[in-house]
Structure 1
Amino acid sequence: MMYSRFFLLTILLTCCGITSLHAQLGFCGGNSGDPIFQEDFGSGTTDGPALPAGTTTYNFTTGTPNDGDYTISSTTNYFDWLSIEDHTPGDSNGKSFIVNASFTAGQFYQREVSGLCENTTYEFSSWLINLQPVGSCEGNSIPVNVRFQIWDGTDTNILAQGDTGSIPGTGTTVWKQYALVFKTAPGQTSVILKMRNNSNGGCGNDLAIDDILFRSCGDNVTISTAANEASLVVCEDQGSVSRTLTATPDSSVFSTHAYQWQQSTDQQIWTDIPGENSAILNTPAVTATTYFRTKIAEDIVNVNNDLCNVVSDVFDITVLPIPPAPTSNGDVEICEGEIGLLSVNTLNAYSINWYDAPTGGNLILANERRLEVNNAGTYYAEANSTEIECASTTRTAVTLTVNPLPVVPDDSSTFLCEDSSTTLDAEVENVMYQWSTGATTQTIDVTEPGDYDVIITNENGCSATRTFTVEQIDLPRIDKIVSDGPSIVVSTSNNGNFEYSLDGVSFQTSPIFEAVEGGFYTIYVQDNTDCGVVTEDFYHLVIQKFFTPNGDSFNDVFEPDGLEVFNSVTISIFDRYGKLLKFGNTNSTTWDGTFQGERLPEDDYWYLIEADSTQFKGHFSLKR
């Protein structure tokens, strides 16, 4: 613990140099060796323990540290200081070294560090933080300012020193790392570390230190092959491999170089390779992942002393195991027109390539665990490394079956007579049915027009849809029937492919019956789809549109046709001015175009016929 505390305070001085670095204050410019000494001050909720006697003139306390006091604690929640966790990653209730500077500037720590290697460069490092928040002490907080010094073992010659300069309170809770580099002289195996405050204590100059390291400092050393490979990845099926490795130091620290090559299977435990003490290593044949590095020192006597050497970069020869064949998620069945999704599983470290054959064949899709296809057949999935070509020795077969759809008749149209029903037939047997009406039978009866769908599903679960369009045929609706001279004209209020008849036997497509004698008739109207017939009785009175009383015995008199069916008939004829020219009854319903024996001129004349309870009005022309 004495050595640990001594080193701790040494780093404290080194760490505090943040705002003004001298030439000796800084980090190792090359590679650093494994930690020779490491102090994280432990963990727990109890303050302490105190530093060894003689290490410092400051007072140890388990409570709030006043000026000239220090403590080892998991909390910094004193005064108005920043409340922070220690720096060590993963600590639970981790502790740090907390210092409240004395009122008088000066040396506050001294300790000898022994067991060093001669003629060797070292780095002390530590993490430091000013505990004062911004604006504390009414804006007059004393900054942290520490000097680090390394003296020889006789305490007469200084080897290195550096000042941190002023480190004001910033309010940040981020730790920063600082270091001091020095070199031992020939024959020198110990040094004295001294730390001092350059600022007086009072309100401010309060700091915490954590994670102190002491390690050797040497060149940056890279490892490569003649092909400038920095690492190598091979597949297990390539057999054994080897490489000639060359270590290249940058001579930033060492003027001479001694080597000892090492190998490891986990980068945790390293073993020396006997007799390999030059800059070049011909690796042994490798069949499993192996790591190579070299220890390096400036003096051959120091190369195997971990207090004196550094290590190079690591050259990896990674031997990838052959991936196992992927695991199928099962064969897939789809219906015609669908897309099949084939899939397999493998470890995340592997990719999947799809082929059309169990060996060789054509690559269908690369780097996908799922394959979308619609052609029936067997497809083959191969696992491969994502780093290099290192494929599974076998491929996994996944089969896609494409089942046919049920064969259904084409969509069809049919007709529905008004106020009746019609039957729709899917016309496919031994399958399942799902009608849009909810029915599940082969046939359904419908009474409304519209579109009806039936989903037909076969034994493979494949479905096809057939649509029926049902159109309603409305019965004719007679709007009116009129006599137009000798013709009967029928009008309907709706449209359709209607047929017309006067006897219910012989039908015509024209709604006009020509040259029909006057009298009572029954008019028949039907749609040509035989959806039904409607009838209406009609009295047809034939009124000439004109007559020509010229004595030629043709159309010489105005004589309505059809009045004989009535019991009582009167007829009145008027000129355009309403003058009664003719009045007759059942026995006298004709007019010869005269009035009181005088022939009347060509003109339009009006008639009023009262037949039983029915009146007929209209006009006709007299032509000479």
Structure 2
Amino acid sequence: MPNTSNSISIQNGETILNIFFTRTFRLIKAFQPINTLNPNEYCFDIFAEFDICSDLIINDVFNLNCDGGSGPSDILVDVIGTPPYDFSIISPLVIDNGNDNIFTNLSPGVYEIRVEDLCGRIEVISINSLDLLPVVSIGTPTDLVICNEVSSNQAVFDLSQQYAQLLGNQNPENLTITYHLTQSDADSGNNPISDIYESTRNPQTVYVRMTHNTLDICYETDSFNLIVGVIPQLGPDVFITICENNSIQLSADSGYSSYLWSTGESSRIIEVDASGVYSVIVSNDYGDFYCESTKIYSIEVSGEANIDAVIIEDFTSNSNSIFIEVSGLGDYEYSLDGINYQPENSFTDLVSGDYTIFVRDINGCGVSTKSVSLNYVKFFTPNGDGDNDYW
């Protein structure tokens, strides 16, 4: 008996539009005979049978060269439409495959495949079997690395970061990816773990399984490592002064995988002879990934002083002065005996006599000297004899 669960009611002369059902339909008239007293007794007349079909589309053609599949010589035709379908190869040979969408034991070559649906719609596609991809084609994943300041076996990883590498150009809506802790679980699909996973050892191998959502005929697996890396722990930044025309070796902390200086050099130790700020990136390398730290070396250049001028005031016998003007790269201190130095560049309350001025670079880059005389004349005899004629 037709009802609302298996039929659509239509009245005489009525038109129903937008019926989104496919397959074979029958137009039935149900009526009660006039000679029965049973209200549940009906008679039926079948007026017609007809088919409603959706468009026939050959969605794709794959080979079965995947885990659980039968190999690259077998191909699967994925279609959308109204079944049942009839599959056949029409060139370069003829194979009638009936309603089986898998052709087996094909030699490499170009084939024309014909598909016919319930309503007689026909689609043909030409394929080269050597160009076909498997139903599932898993990309090779790289390891996942999280950098910690201390060595540890545990870190929380987001495994969904691997999706792009695993899928490649495949439509993610057609495929399901799961992660597992053993190869046997990946092969069976059992015991999948969450995409957000906390590792329990370092490194830890994770196995990945990929299946097609509608073509459940084969799968593929691969694996990658979860690595908890260690960030290099470097000493404090360094401030160094070198003497002019000298050089110094800058040495990075030892025990790490690689070094990259701001000069472009990649050795642990470099030599420099100019002032400036130098940096080195020190890293622990984990395959294509690394954990890194940076250290700064600030270099200043110092040098011996140039004594440009000495200004003296020697108009008394015991209260004279010396002022020293210098130039150079360094920071300087001053002395009149080469033993006791002061930061000021002037000396006062000096008695008359001969002095040696010492100018020393505080970074040890040399001492400059100059001799001066403080000759206060107590009298003069302007008689033209050449002695004490002037004062």
- The normalised TM-score by structure 2 is 0.50
1:514 pairs, out of 340, 348, 351, with 348
CA distance in 1, matches of 2:192, 2:242: 64
Residue 501 of structure 1 and its aligned partner are, at CA, apart by 1.4
Cα gap change, 1:420 to 1:399, in 2 (>3 Å): closer
For structure 1, list consecutive stretches of 5 or more residues without a partner in the other structure. 1-223, 227-243, 255-289, 319-323, 366-374, 544-558, 561-569, 573-582, 590-607, 610-624
| Aligned twin of 1:480 | 309
Contact 1:452 1:469 in 2 (8 A): yes
Residue 500 of structure 1 and its aligned partner are, at CA, apart by 0.9
Contact 1:421 1:447 in 2 (8 A): yes
Cα gap change, 1:316 to 1:396, in 2 (>3 Å): farther
Cα gap change, 1:437 to 1:362, in 2 (>3 Å): closer
Residue 523 of structure 1 and its aligned partner are, at CA, apart by 0.8
Contact 1:332 1:401 in 2 (8 A): yes
Q: Which amino acid aligns with 1:480?
A: A
Cα gap change, 1:537 to 1:473, in 2 (>3 Å): same
| Aligned twin of 2:147 | 336
Residue 508 of structure 1 and its aligned partner are, at CA, apart by 2.3
Residues 464-501 of structure 1, C-alpha deviation per residue, up to 9 Å, x if partnerless? 44332111123323232222342222232458532111
Contact 2:304 2:367 in 1 (8 A): yes
Aligned pairs for 1:119-268 within 5 A: 244-252=5-13
Structure showing greater radius of gyration is 1
Residue 448 of structure 1 and its aligned partner are, at CA, apart by 1.0
Cα gap change, 1:331 to 1:448, in 2 (>3 Å): closer
| Aligned twin of 1:400 | 226
3-state SS, counterpart of residue 437 of structure 1: coil
Q: Which amino acid aligns with 1:520?
A: D
Residue 524 of structure 1 and its aligned partner are, at CA, apart by 0.8
CA distance in 1, matches of 2:328, 2:309: 12
Cα gap change, 1:483 to 1:440, in 2 (>3 Å): same
Q: Does 1:503 align with 2:337?
A: yes
When the two chains are superposed, the root-mean-square deviation of aligned CA atoms in Å is 5.0
Residue 584 of structure 1 and its aligned partner are, at CA, apart by 9.1
Residue 532 of structure 1 and its aligned partner are, at CA, apart by 0.8
Residue 248 of structure 1 and its aligned partner are, at CA, apart by 2.5
Cα gap change, 1:490 to 1:501, in 2 (>3 Å): same
Aligned pairs for 1:532-551 within 5 A: 532-542=366-376
1:409 pairs, out of 235, 245, 248, with 235
Q: Does 1:296 align with 2:27?
A: yes
Contact 1:325 1:382 in 2 (8 A): no
Residues 340-386 of structure 1, C-alpha deviation per residue, up to 9 Å, x if partnerless? 94232396352546679873655649xxxxxxxxx986667676887
CA distance in 1, matches of 2:195, 2:275: 55
Contact 2:357 2:370 in 1 (8 A): yes
Residue 326 of structure 1 and its aligned partner are, at CA, apart by 8.1
2:362 pairs, out of 517, 528, 536, with 528
Pick the structure with more strand per residue.
2
| Aligned twin of 1:437 | 263
CA distance in 1, matches of 2:47, 2:381: 149
Cα gap change, 1:443 to 1:495, in 2 (>3 Å): closer
CA distance in 2, matches of 1:468, 1:515: 45
Residue 520 of structure 1 and its aligned partner are, at CA, apart by 2.5
Residues 558-587 of structure 1, C-alpha deviation per residue, up to 9 Å, x if partnerless? x38xxxxxxxxx577xxxxxxxxxx79887
Cα gap change, 1:302 to 1:510, in 2 (>3 Å): closer
Q: Which amino acid aligns with 1:471?
A: E
Residue 522 of structure 1 and its aligned partner are, at CA, apart by 1.8
Cα gap change, 1:488 to 1:585, in 2 (>3 Å): farther
Q: Does 1:359 align with 2:191?
A: yes
Residues 226-266 of structure 1, C-alpha deviation per residue, up to 9 Å, x if partnerless? 5xxxxxxxxxxxxxxxxx41232353369xxxxxxxxxxxx
3-state SS, counterpart of residue 9 of structure 2: strand
For structure 2, list consecutive stretches of 5 or more residues without a partner in the other structure. 16-20, 31-43, 55-80, 85-134, 149-156, 182-189, 314-318
Residue 521 of structure 1 and its aligned partner are, at CA, apart by 1.9
Contact 1:295 1:312 in 2 (8 A): no
CA distance in 2, matches of 1:467, 1:339: 33
CA distance in 1, matches of 2:195, 2:326: 73
Cα gap change, 1:495 to 1:540, in 2 (>3 Å): farther
Q: Which amino acid aligns with 2:191?
A: T
| Aligned twin of 1:350 | 174
How many pairs align? 261
| Aligned twin of 2:280 | 454
| Aligned twin of 2:61 | none
CA distance in 1, matches of 2:3, 2:345: 107
CA distance in 1, matches of 2:10, 2:210: 41
Cα gap change, 1:249 to 1:396, in 2 (>3 Å): farther
3-state SS, counterpart of residue 509 of structure 1: coil
Residues 404-436 of structure 1, C-alpha deviation per residue, up to 9 Å, x if partnerless? 244433331211212222221123157444434
1:490 pairs, out of 315, 318, 324, with 324
Cα gap change, 1:378 to 1:584, in 2 (>3 Å): farther
